[in-house]
Structure 1
Amino acid sequence: MGTGGAYASRVATGRVTPTRALDVLNVLLSDVRYGLGAYLGVYLLTEHQWDAGEIGLALSIGGLAGLLAQAPIGLLVDAIRAKRALIAGAVLVVMACCLVIPLAPSFWPVTLAGVVGGLAGTSIAPTLAAISLGIVGPERFARRACRNEALFHAGNGAINLLILATAPFFGTPVLFWVMAGTGLASAAAALAIPPRSIDHAVARGLLPGAANVAPRQGWHLLTGSRPLLTFALCGALFHMANGSMLALVAQKLALQNIGWGVALTAICAIAAQVVMVPAATLAGARAESWGRRPLLLAAFLALALRGLLYTAFDHPAWLIGVQLLDGVGAGLIGALFPVVIADLTRGSGHFAAAQGVVGTVHGLGGVVSGALSGLIVVWAGYDAAFLALAATAGLGAALFWLTMPETRPLPLEKEFAHDHSAA
């Protein structure tokens, strides 16, 4: 029986609700998946007097560790069936790494925590996508992946509202209290997904009912597919432009508004999440009718415009308002990343491995972004860094439109997949 049929029969009896369990997990992961994010830079800048260059270097080392691990972790996710336990363990490690930072807020302990947390956090996104694919099947995956992203951003917005409401009274420790609570809850939610609801063959990218496939070296996936390589390189430019933009805005606001760094960072994050939820929802509703390509181009253009507008005025209201454009760019590309990978690897059995390989190239852009933008700030100021990031996004938009094909499956491919699902 194919995934869709098996899932429908279980749901009809009322015994399990795997998609509801996925919904809860996506909301709770919003505070754990990327650790402390921009808050860490503000915390180190305002509480321990680090400069932008030190912050960028420390975060980049941790990011590089996670980057190098993505391809082998993807191969691991394809190979193992204990995907629920993998997510639960990963979020607990990320949580622990964040909680030790206040105990030793100097360069090397923070960097080591970032390395360990980066290695664990790298496994969360591909494992979640694989579980989702294994539950709903390839035909419904685009809508499910975009729903995952929308719920993730909704949860992120709620967490940031909580931080905004409590930080003025409790200060920066609230960041670590919230991390502890969401980390434990995320682990419990991952283990609450009914194990029998996951078709593990479909979860690795095979068509329902297809035979297993032999292992394949991760980087051969990239070099053997021109569309996958194009998506990887264009995405690297997107993340090179986007990776440090929120952190730079948060730092600029913190320096201009002493004592309000955490609260203003929360407001910036909330502003983006307000738009990310409808952006991801739009992607889920229109990815099949409009295709993936125009939605992804809109993400690049929104990012380039955002970088330019940051240089126009320094008023906090303006900077926070411009942050709304982050919701368009990050919301669309975050929702469609696993969808495009699933399109390009359908039937291969290497879905998570391809996510890892492409994610490595994308992550390289993010690592370069953190280190390079920090140095530009030290040498030439924040406006120069924003202009450099905007130019990078513009270059990515041009290359994407000129070289990236549409990946939406053709009707014949959909019919083929449906026939195999029903077999």
Structure 2
Amino acid sequence: MSNSDTASGPAPMTTGKGPSASSVTGLDATNFFLADVQDGVGPYLTVYLASARHWQAGPIGVAMAMTGLATALCQIPAGLLVDSTRYKRALVAVSALITALACILIIALPGMAPVIAAQIMMGAAAAVIPPALAAISLGLVGRRRLPGRISRNQGINHFGSFASAALAGLCGQYWGLNWIFYLVCGSAIASAVALLLIRPKEIDQKVARGSEDESNDPPVALDALLGRRPVWVFLCAIVLFHLGNAAMLPFAGQVMAKSHPGSETVTLSACVIVAQFVMMLVAWAVGRAMAGGIGRKPIFLLAYAILPIRGLLFSWFDAPTAIIAIQVLDGIAAGIFGVIAIIIAADLTHGTGRFNFLQGMVALSVGIGGALSNLLGGYVVQLEGYRAGFLSLTVIAVLALLFFLTLMPETRDPDEQGRSAVPA
């Protein structure tokens, strides 16, 4: 990336004009290709290490845990870095290319150390990309138009995940597992090229970190932001959301493995594809709802209300077709979360210059909730069985719904109605 990344320039929000066609196309293409890069090689790594490298389950588990650990540790530093730097396009490009390098490292060098190093690299890159993309989007379109832009980002990202899952399946089936790694490398390079289409002068750097565009004030102190009650309510609500949700699909896969042996892999792949397709549609619908004046809270409440329903259905049904159908609900809840969580973070940090720091806190809360969900749910399943595990997650989901309903305020500006959408 060139030094022109440092340019601040007039923000679209202040001039009344939207970003150029080149920047819109570049941001769309970047979101599409990064869908494959953000997830790295994901579950395909376990298959590769088991079949091609003949690793045992223990070392595979260690390798997989390294990505999550690295991502969790880098979330807050990544948010602070994105807030402070003007080179946001370069930050995304470097993170994508680090992921590509990590893929090459895995397939080129034998042994456990290169795989662990590669997983740590992927985890660190995965912590940087989402807040940097959201910051670029905010700097391009301004806060008023951010809901529509994030809705569009998420829809394109889910479509990219859908397409990459299909391509990965074809590559693994016909050309070998190595080609899945090459596919991620190709997507990383394509995303770096797409970033060049985004015109840096159209990114308002102050707006991109959550400051007022006319203000020259420095970002507020971290303790001042974290001292705000709605911020902590929001973060706790996110922990509870994922505490009641994250372990449901893994438990469903384990149930299928026992009740319908041989069908779990195909069914779980179908669940991922169905969920991504639904998320793509929901991301678009959420953007339209916010543009029509519906607040953040009622939309997010729908996602919270879906979780206990999903838990009850999983406790009753274990047929592969039923599991796939239930995943439609997960697609709706996750599609809402992917858009609304970013918008609420932008609302809560408006004028503070700490938008991307709070995004890091949100991602850390997601990781904490997911880890506790699998940990606590796993012990309940071990002691009382899968039905008790699903019902315990359902109870937590109900508590999460009540927590968000009673304690979380609406964050939308009263005068925002009708001005949130970004023209397609």
TM value normalised by structure 2: 0.84
1:308 positional shift: 2.7
Within 5 Å, which residues of 2 pair with 1:276-355?
276-288=279-291, 289-355=293-359
1:136 positional shift: 0.3
Contact conserved, 1:70 with 1:123, CA < 8 A, in 2?
A: yes
Contact conserved, 1:3 with 1:202, CA < 8 A, in 2?
A: no
Answer yes or no: is 1:399 the counterpart of 2:413: no
Mapped partners of 2:188, 2:296: distance in 1: 33
Answer yes or no: is 1:197 the counterpart of 2:206: no
1:91 positional shift: 1.6
Which amino acid in 2 is paired with 1:243? A
Contiguous gaps of at least 5 residues in structure 1: 419-423
The one of 9, 12, 15 equivalent to 1:3 is: 12
Per the alignment, residue 272 of structure 2 pairs with 269
Q: Deviations over 1:225-278 (max 9, x none)?
A: 1111101001011122333444454566567554973x5443221110121112
Structure with more contact order per residue of length (Cα contacts < 8 Å, sep ≥ 6):
1
Per the alignment, residue 4 of structure 2 pairs with none
Answer yes or no: is 1:152 the counterpart of 2:157: yes
Per the alignment, residue 67 of structure 2 pairs with 62
1:72 positional shift: 1.9
Which amino acid in 2 is paired with 1:75? L
Mapped partners of 1:371, 1:91: distance in 2: 31
Mapped partners of 1:55, 1:377: distance in 2: 23
* Shift in CA distance, 90/389, structure 1 to aligned 2, threshold 3 Å: farther
CA-atom RMSD, angstroms?
3.3
Which amino acid in 1 is paired with 2:205? H
1:403 positional shift: 0.8
Within 5 Å, which residues of 2 pair with 1:112-123?
112-123=117-128
* Shift in CA distance, 283/20, structure 1 to aligned 2, threshold 3 Å: same
Contact conserved, 1:232 with 1:359, CA < 8 A, in 2?
A: no
Contact conserved, 1:85 with 1:191, CA < 8 A, in 2?
A: no
The one of 332, 353, 360 equivalent to 1:356 is: 360
Mapped partners of 1:164, 1:357: distance in 2: 34
Contact conserved, 2:209 with 2:356, CA < 8 A, in 1?
A: yes
Contact conserved, 1:134 with 1:198, CA < 8 A, in 2?
A: yes
Which amino acid in 1 is paired with 2:365? V
Mapped partners of 1:155, 1:87: distance in 2: 17
Mapped partners of 1:383, 1:144: distance in 2: 40
1:382 positional shift: 5.0
The one of 228, 231, 237 equivalent to 1:234 is: 237
Per the alignment, residue 131 of structure 2 pairs with 126
- Return 315-324 or 402-411, whichever deviates more: 315-324
TM value normalised by structure 1: 0.84
2:78 is paired with a residue whose SS is helix
1:154 positional shift: 1.2
1:221 positional shift: 2.0
* Shift in CA distance, 195/138, structure 1 to aligned 2, threshold 3 Å: same
Per the alignment, residue 30 of structure 1 pairs with 35
Contact conserved, 2:139 with 2:207, CA < 8 A, in 1?
A: yes
Mapped partners of 1:333, 1:10: distance in 2: 26
1:31 positional shift: 1.0
1:124 positional shift: 0.7
* Shift in CA distance, 43/7, structure 1 to aligned 2, threshold 3 Å: farther
How many residue pairs match? The answer is 408
* Shift in CA distance, 87/381, structure 1 to aligned 2, threshold 3 Å: farther
Per the alignment, residue 421 of structure 1 pairs with none
* Shift in CA distance, 260/355, structure 1 to aligned 2, threshold 3 Å: closer
Mapped partners of 1:107, 1:377: distance in 2: 32
